[in-house]
Structure 1
Amino acid sequence: MQLGVMLFIILLGVMTFAWRIFTQIEQQQQQLLASSQALQHLNVKLEQASYTDTLTGIFNRRYFNLVYEREFKRASRSDKPITFIMVDIDYFKPYNDTYGHLQGDVALQSVARVLRTSLARPGDFAFRLGGEEFGIILTDTDAASARQMAERLRFNVESLGMEHKGNKSTGIVTISLGAVCVTPTLSMGNESLLHTADVNLYAAKELGRNKVIFTTTL
């Protein structure tokens, strides 16, 4: 009888010890899982931060380079149009000189917000390329729709009505846009699209600014 009791006590002790070990292992696994999930979340945040312009919150030049190359190749393979719009805030240096760099940052943020919110489709992207220069990529959009979008961007920024005494023609913050929409081929260099948009932007400035120059050829 005593032997049976002793065996029972020993067995109970072993089971209790095993349960504690099992519980500790389970807790450690849960902690490891939580740490792994937290690390994955942190990595996602870090990746997003590396692709985001810190001042305006839209995509930066680094991410533009990745997206542009990817979408240009995709459009070439699928025989679909792609549009690139280069955007520049008119007379931005005089704006900074008049209102100060802090207000200049506010203007950049406001324009960036308009550009981002004006794009309704997941396949359209807004980037800050540097300084007061922005870029827009529209994927799988026909020329007529792309032209309308460029005009909408110009109008929406103008509609902010932000005072700009250095802009003698309007007295408010405006943008100039150089846009090009083509269906690229595999043999076409992707730099040609950027060059044409830049040429069109220069033409928009030469013609008085607050304008869209849009072409469908390189």
Structure 2
Amino acid sequence: MVRTLAVSDEEVAGLRTAAARRYDVALVLGAGDLPFDYLADLANTLDRPGVMVPGNHDQDLSGFSQRRGLWMRAGHPCDWPGPAGFENADLRVVDVATLRIAGLGGCLRYRPGPNQWSEAEQARRGRRLVRIARRARRKDGRAVDVLLTHAPPRHCGDREDGPHRGFECLHALVEALRPRLLVHGHIHPHGEPVPDRMLGSTRVVNVVGRKVVDV
């Protein structure tokens, strides 16, 4: 079992302080729409690695790669604009803290801006992520443990207004990858209880604010 601290969308007072160490987690998961300095402070305070995907209010992190410790974009050295201590899992499969994590950031497009996708665009991205995950599994036999997204699957705790509708295509993605856990943000509970949901054998967890999740 791996204990994770999952966060998204809303800063939690006091979480940047040493008091956060009481959670005794092995990993921090960021499901989007949090200040990058907040995420960096969490990784630094907890002294744990982080994995994140961008939300619709985050800046564009696409096109960055790391070679021999140097960040590159479009073939040129650059500064990494994302949170220090975090790996961007958007459209990638990463292995951290004994977990295999597949990521798909962004939400349904409702205005111009980065990290927003039409249903068809996100479906194409999802199919690409499945191919990446299957190639990784052929190499070592390991399946995806956690699917980390910003928006939820449609009809799985989402809303009816355009900005907060979930993606239909995430149902097919869950069926293909069969992760133990899907972690998402984007849907603010506004004081309402937010129960976990099940898609087949996958537990779907809304982590707006913060939630400690055992995998």
The structure where strand makes up a greater share of residues is 2
Specify the structure having the higher radius of gyration (Cα): 1
- TM-score, normalisation: structure 2: 0.25
TM-score, normalised relative to structure 1? 0.25
